[in-house]
Structure 1
Amino acid sequence: MTILMMRAPMPYDQRLWQRASWLWPDALHAAGRHRAHLIVSTMGSSENNADAKALGFAESTQLTTAVVGAVLEALPDSVAVVWRGNVGRSPEMWLEQSRCAFDPFPDQPFGLWMEIVPFRSGKTVGAHTVGLSAFMGREIEFEVDGLDQRAVTARVAQLSSYLIATGLDASIKNGAVFEADAEIDHRVAVLHRNSRFNIGPVISFSSVPDRFGRVRTYPIIPASIARNHPLLVMLGKVGLFDPARTENQIRLKPDHYHSEVRLESFDEGLSQALSGMIATDTYAEADTNARRALASGDIASARSILQPWAEEVGLLQAAAKLALTLCDAFMFMPAPPRSP
């Protein structure tokens, strides 16, 4: 273990101490009081000793947690502990829980290593984690209808403890659906995606089906593009594109966004992709032949000529739907988390 003395305060992080204050009301005051800090890490243990076994992340976490507890006992005037730069805890909480640093699931002190941040979307109270990704590469984003803040926090705590112990690959699979239980009277879907709160990859838990009328259906390619883009106009003439079809629809929750005003960047991206499909000599020839066939009343031939481009549009719609579902792209401006 390495312990470094830094004779200066830590850089102040308002969000860190605000999150900490949900469990520890004096967190902001403690942050303002400190004048120096120690850095405790496992740096260099196996690098300097060929016979030493390198610690895994879980082992390093347990050891560091216990050592920090010992440091607090030796330095009773310490005012706070900051874990990995994003979790703040009181010395009293750390001293008490660090005694269980090496305990197995479900008794490991995971509450020292991560935060659970509650939020509200419409009528639904949810929560996301901060710090869990250090263990499994993803945070949790939990947004299940019908639970109060206490129940949501308890669920996320249980899931976090379990995932820290078992790892993501060995436990909750992408696409899994949990059946109703004594507390949740409906199914809950699991999806591995990016966070709509810009906290990186998450494992998402959400209600199936829509419980509170929160979901609305939107066109992926809007009518404004469908009416005016030359490729879609041609495909529409031969029955190969209709913006009202299911493949052009996506179900989203308006309360996840600032408004239902479409982002220009999203629609411009669609238009550019469509224009790229026709910016070739091959399409120019196909367009001419299709128009000639239409002029003679041969819709079937025109349809056959344009079929490859209809398939390209279908791939674009599917890719956009997947990106919107995984929060890799946004049709509307995402809203920040709101306090419950």
Structure 2
Amino acid sequence: MSSSFLAVVLLETPVIPDMSALAKAIRARHPELPIEADGGKEGQTSPLLRCGDDTVAVMSMPSPAPADPGLWLRTSATWPQGEAIAARHRGHVIVSVLGKKHEPLRAARLTTAVVGGLIAAVPQCCAVLWNGKVARATDLWSDMSKQSFAPFPEYPFSLWIDVLPFRSDSGIGAVTMGLSAFAEREIEFETHKLSLAELMDKVHGLAVYLVEHGPVVKDGDTFGSNERERFTVYYKNSDTFGGLPVFYCTDDPAK
């Protein structure tokens, strides 16, 4: 399971962030977070922030980020303008917590807080790509990232995970993208009983539970508040999504 995350902030024009201004912007949004810009060597600007015991790299790249058509195809359902906005960017900033031994939720919270501060401090920001899986508009990110350190389940997990509906032989389904960084697998849920709204609510609820607790759900576990909403979780490689390792959820007892 990954313990660090890579956020790529797209820029309309390349710029090197003022790290002192960035630290100030983050401090204003999260006064409880101890943060300061790294002094660097004499005559040099350090791309590092000190956040308590953690170090966050904020690396400016004077070129477009590599294109990922699959990402923008997934994003088109929730952010139709995203691909066109991204096509105009000319630089990007990479944000990541340094080091390998990080609890995933802690690393996600800290990275998200820094990205929110970056958007506040650098007006050229136009989109955020999270860990190669999720793309979001900067205004949405700016607003939701204020909840970076909120208690479960109020933190902005939907910046980190997409939930994508699809039609299935059973009726309808939904699959996550991005959850595996927290829980080793994605969720694939198929139902013939629930409405789309009920399905999405179930997937969101299970996803945020797994973000908080990690891969604690066991193969064959059953959940649900009543018989209509009861479902079973299986470990499998997805038949629909190219062998993707998933928590396969179904309310069909024949499956």
- TM-score norm. by structure 2 comes to 0.73
Higher relative contact order (CA 8 A, sep 6+): 2
Q: SS where residue 125 of structure 2 aligns?
A: coil
> Which has a greater percent of helix?
1
Matched residue, 2:3? none
Give the match's secondary structure for 1:208: coil
Matches within 5 A, 1:1-340: 1-44=56-99, 54-122=101-169, 124-169=171-216, 172-179=217-224, 181=226, 185=228, 187-196=230-239, 197-198=241-242, 200-210=244-254
* Rounded Cα–Cα distance in structure 1 between residues aligned with 2:187 and 2:233: 10
Give, in angstroms, the shift of residue 18 of structure 1. 2.1
Task: List structure 1 runs of 4+ shifted beyond 3 angstroms.
Answer: none
Q: Is the 8 A contact 2:194 2:229 kept in 1?
A: no
CA contact (8 A) 1:17 1:31 kept: no
What is the DSSP-based 3-state SS (H/G/I as helix, E as strand, rest coil) of the residue aligned with 1:58?
helix
Aligned AA for 2:130? W
**Using the alignment, how far apart are the partners of 2:210 and 2:159 within structure 1?**
15
How many residues end up aligned between the 2 structures?
A: 199
Distance 1:58 1:179 in 2: 25
Contact 1:189 1:206 in 2 (8 A): yes
Instruction: Note closer, same or farther for the CA distance 1:124–1:69 as it changes in structure 2 (3 Å cut).
Output: same
CA distance in structure 1 between the partners assigned to 2:202 and 2:77 by the alignment: 17
Structure 1: which amino acid aligns with 2:231?
Answer: V
Compare the two structures and name the one with the higher strand fraction.
2
Q: Distance in 2 between matches of 1:179 and 1:149?
A: 17
Rounded to whole Å, the distance in 1 between the matches of 2:133 and 2:231 is 29
RMSD: 1.9
1:179 CA drift (Å): 4.9
Structure whose alpha-carbon radius of gyration is higher: 1
| Contact 1:128/1:142 (8 A) holds in 2 | yes
Deviation at 1:79, TM superposition (A): 1.0
Give the SS at the match of 1:80: strand
Structure 1 unaligned segments of length 5 or more: list them. Answer: 47-53, 211-251, 253-340
Q: Which runs of 5+ in 2 are unaligned?
A: 1-55
Q: How far apart, in 1, do the equivalents of 2:160 and 2:229 lie?
A: 31
Deviation at 1:199, TM superposition (A): 5.3
Q: Is the 8 A contact 1:187 1:209 kept in 2?
A: no
1:34 to partner: Cα distance: 0.8
Please tell me the residue identity of whatever aligns with 2:179.
L
Q: Distance in 1 between matches of 2:154 and 2:225?
A: 26
CA contact (8 A) 1:187 1:208 kept: no
State TM-score, norm by structure 1. 0.55
